[in-house]
Every structure is written in structure tokens, then in C-alpha cells.
Chain A
């Protein structure tokens, strides 16, 4: 029962974070591109920040990679926490890599979504 609860909690948290990424995170990609394009465009330069789309197969592999990266990072944080008897320390060590891997997981999953979502 506890495992199910934990899985549900993790699942709903991930879902919520993904929704937040879709709503606000994607905006960071656009605003970054816009800032660079505007500057160059107003300077009279040709500018193109578009990137070629990755294949579905590559994206699927990346999903596995990022999930693995998250798992490894969490395990690492957990190990640090146990080793030094400090949960705070463990969380501190795991936070950055988990956040980065999670962001990239969302980017990858977003690329796999069909149009219209």
C-alpha cells in the first residue's frame, strides 16, 4: 500500500511538473530565442535558431537515458544522506542533477507528443 501511495505521489508530482513545464518552461525556450533573434535581427543580420527535429527513435532512447539519470541521481543523493547521516545534505547533492535531468526528460517527452497536445 505504501509503495502504491508513493508511486501515485511521484506520478502526480511528475504530471504537475510536466504541466508546469508546458505552461511556463517552454516559454523560457521561446524567450531565449526571441532575445537572441531580436538583437541580431535589429543589427541587420540573418539569424536562424531553429534546430532539426530529432527522430522518434532517438527521442525514445533519450527518455530512457534521462529516467536513468534521474534514478542514479536520486540514489546518489540517498547514499550521501545515509553516509553522512544528513537528509539535507543528500537532497542538496541530488537536487541539481535531478532538476537538470528532469528538465531534459520533459523536453524529450514534449518532442514525442503528437501535435495538438
Chain B
């Protein structure tokens, strides 16, 4: 018994959940690569009391830390549309009250050396595969898009908040710089880059080279990670969403042309696919560790005409399964109440204990039904 206890304590202390909060900070110093999970800046939304550090990446691991910046979109404070995702109900629920934002509300992004104020312009609700909302529509100005799940407790839709930069309150915009996220994992649900045999109508000069040891160095608004930057032209910025595809991990099944990015997040649009011409010239190197690589503006230009097609690859459980789970929870809660009643022969006490789980389960079930409708 004592050995068992010692074993359980040993495993408890070595478990990721408790230990993660005590791990040493990683000071990676200046470098060209931006790692997934790296703190990029502060996002503040005074009207809903949000004041958090946002990190690079929108994967499951990154969103545990806080709001995540979509790799492949410009950073806030740069020309183009920056996009940030956040959890709605779990992990501190940073974007829980995003639906309360109204036109004109401020979203402030702060870096050590600059501050950018965005004003909310619109709110919309889209399907999870509608990735067009994070694409840059006007590369001559700065905009910001926040995404989260909708309705609360469901991943059936996405709530989108669009905001535009207020130049009078902000530091000058910088040229857009990009990184591509890749995360190596044995987990079958991890981001996967795979080629699909798809026809292409992209530029005939397309030759995409993605390297995790990028020779192009990038300057971010966060002064702590600065390197020399190659500023993309406005035309290159417009084509930016195409480069989201050149991230992830190559799989054994990779063959043919075209690549897909599985955006690994319950808050993020599910998947998108870009088809690139002349696939024989496309080279993708998988990253040996969780990191992101920088793509130069010249590389961006090369995939300028590649079209984006959206592939729905929803990894979440269907609503029916959620519904059954919540019904099961209701049943278990009622059984709990019945058991307590038999045990203590005091119905009021029994049902007082059982009321909370029953109400919670009923609420969950109704939310699933609502989302389905």
C-alpha cells in the first residue's frame, strides 16, 4: 500500500498538468524563428475585461496558454489582417464575452515598443470551415480579426469580431511579416501537412520552397525578436493567406500536388487547402520540433496566384454524440439523486445534492440542441 502511495505521488509530481505551471521559462534569445507558443504581445479589450498575453499558434497546446495568433496572418501592428483565436469556455475562457463587443469598442495590442488600437467594426457568425474571415482584404491598412467558438459550449460555429486600426491612437504600422506554424506530434490529431492530388490553376512560375531553417529573417513588432526583415509588397500581402498551407508535418501519404493545413484548434477554422502548380518543385521540410519558420517575401510572391479552397475536416464529435453524452449525464445525475434518497431517506437533502449536476447536464443538452438547430 505504501509502495502504491509512493508510486502515485511520484507520478503525480511528474504529470504534465501540475508541473507545467512550475517549469522554467525558456529564454530563447534573438532568432529568426518564431516558436509556436511563444509570447508575442499583449491583447487588451477593456469592455470585456480581457488583458492577456497572446502567443504564436492556434493549436491545442498553444491555446492552453492564452489567445493564439494565426500563423500565416500578419501580426497585429502590421499591414494586412491579423487574426487571433481564443477559447470561449475553457482554459480561462479568454474570449468568453466576445459577443458583447459592439462597434467602436477598443482592442488594444501592446508590444514592448509599440501600441496599436483597433476599433470593432462588425460581428458575425460563420461556419468553422469559413477561413475567408482571416484573410487580408485590404493590404493597405491594418485590421484585426478575433475568432472563437459559438455558441458557448459548442464548436458548431465561429464568432468573428472584425476591427480596424485607429491610426490616431496607434504607432505606425509595419510591413507584414509571416511565419508558418508546424508542430510535430505523434498524436493523430496533430497538424498534418499532406499533399492531395489536385488540379491547379496557379502561377506557372510557382516554385515554393519552405524551409524550417529559413534564411530570411523577420522583424516583429516585439522588439525582443528582431532580425532583418524583407518587407513584402502590398501585392504580396494580399496573397498572404496562401502561405498558410506551407506549414505542418509531411506525412507518408504525401503525394501529388497541393497541400492542406489542418488548423488544429477547436476555436479555429478547421482546415484549408491550397493547390499549387508545379508540385514537383514544391519542397516541404518537416520541422524537428515545435517551431515556426519564416517565409520570405519572395517566396510569398511565388505563390501569389494560388487559389484557396476550403476542405471541411471537422475533427470534433458530431452533435448527436454530444447530445447522447449530455443525456447520459442527466441520467447519471438523476440516478445519483435516487441513490442519495435511498441512502439518507431524506428526499430534500438528496435532491438538493443532485440538483446541480442535473441542471448542468440539462443546460449542456439544450445548448447542443440549440446549436444543432
- A and B: partners? yes
A residues apposed to B, CB below 8 Å: 5-6, 8-9, 11-13, 15-16, 19, 22-23, 26-34, 36-38, 40-42, 44-58, 62, 65-66, 69-70, 72-73, 75-76, 79, 97, 100-101, 103-104, 106-108, 114-117
CB pair A116–B266 under 8 Å, yes or no, is: yes
5 tightest Cβ-Cβ pairs between the two chains A and B: A116-B316, A50-B37, A107-B17, A72-B4, A55-B186
Assess whether B92 is in contact with A50, with CB atoms less than 8 Å apart. Answer: no
CB pair A100–B18 under 8 Å, yes or no, is yes
From B18, B64, B224, B315, contact of A103 by CB (8 A) = B18
Say yes or no: B357 contacts A16, CB within 8 Å.
Answer: yes
Closest to B354 in A: A12
Which of B9, B15, B21, B339 meets A33, CB within 8 Å?
B21
**Cβ contacts under 8 Å, B59 to chain A:** 53
Given known A72-B4, A72-B8, A107-B15, contact A9–B336 (CB-CB < 8 A): yes
Evaluate whether A54 and B187 lie within 8 angstroms (CB atoms) in the complex, with A5-B339, A36-B25, A47-B26 already known: yes
**Number of inter-chain CB pairs below 8 Å:** 235
- List of A residues within 8 angstroms of B57 by Cβ: 50
Chain B residue nearest to A102 (CB atoms) is B12
Cβ of B337 to closest chain A Cβ, rounded Å: 9
Interface segment out of the listed B27-35, B119-127, B164-172? B27-35
A97 touches B61 (CB 8 A): no
Residue numbers in A under 8 Å from B286 (CB-CB): none
- Decide if A116 touches B155 in the complex (CB within 8 Å): yes
A44 contacts which chain B residues (CB < 8 A)?
112, 223-224
Given contacts A26-B91, A47-B25, A50-B290, contact A40 B39 (CB under 8 A): yes
Chain B, interface size category, equals 35 or more
Neighbouring A residues of B11 by C-beta, 8 Å = 65-66, 69, 101, 104
B342 touches A5 (CB 8 A): yes
> Most A CB atoms within 10 A — which of B17, B188, B224, B322?
B17
Check A50 against B55 for contact (C-beta < 8 Å): yes
In the complex, the answer to whether A73 meets B223 with C-beta atoms within 8 Å is no
Q: A47-B26, A115-B265 are in contact. Are A69 and B8 (CB under 8 A)?
A: yes
Q: Which residues of B contact A47 (CB under 8 A)?
A: 25-27, 38-39
Cα–Cα, bound, A44→B2 (Å):
47
**B residues at A contact (CB < 8 Å):** 1-2, 4-5, 7-9, 11-12, 15-18, 20-21, 23, 25-30, 35-39, 41-42, 52-53, 55, 57, 59-62, 64-66, 87, 89-94, 112, 155, 183-190, 223-225, 264-266, 289-290, 314-317, 322, 329, 332-333, 335-336, 338-340, 342-343, 356-357, 360
The answer to whether A69 and B35 touch (CB under 8 A), given A8-B336, A22-B90, A33-B66, is: no
Establish whether residues A33 and B4, one from each chain, have CB atoms under 8 Å apart when the complex forms: no
Complex CA–CA separation, A72 to B25 (angstroms): 35
> Whole-angstrom distance between the alpha carbons of A44 and B225 in the complex?
10
CB A71 to nearest CB in B, in angstroms, measures 9
Q: Shortest distance in angstroms between A81's beta carbon and chain B's nearest beta carbon?
A: 12
Complexed CA–CA distance, A20 and B116 (Å): 36
* Closest B residue, CB atoms, query A103: B17
Which residues of the other chain, B, contact A5 by a CB distance below 8 angstroms?
335, 338-339, 342-343
- Pick the contact of B64: A8, A16, A26, A100 (CB < 8 A): A26
Decide if B336 touches A69 in the complex (CB within 8 Å). Answer: no
Chain A residues whose CB sits within 8 angstroms of the CB of B112 once the complex forms: 41-42, 44
Do B189 and A115 touch (CB < 8 A)?
yes
Q: Which chain A residues lie closer than 8 Å to B7 at the CB level?
A: 69, 72
Contacts beyond the supplied A15-B332, A72-B5, A108-B17: 17 A-B pairs with Cβ under 8 Å: A8-B332, A12-B332, A12-B357, A19-B357, A29-B17, A33-B20, A34-B66, A38-B53, A47-B27, A48-B38, A50-B38, A73-B5, A79-B1, A103-B12, A104-B18, A116-B315, A116-B316
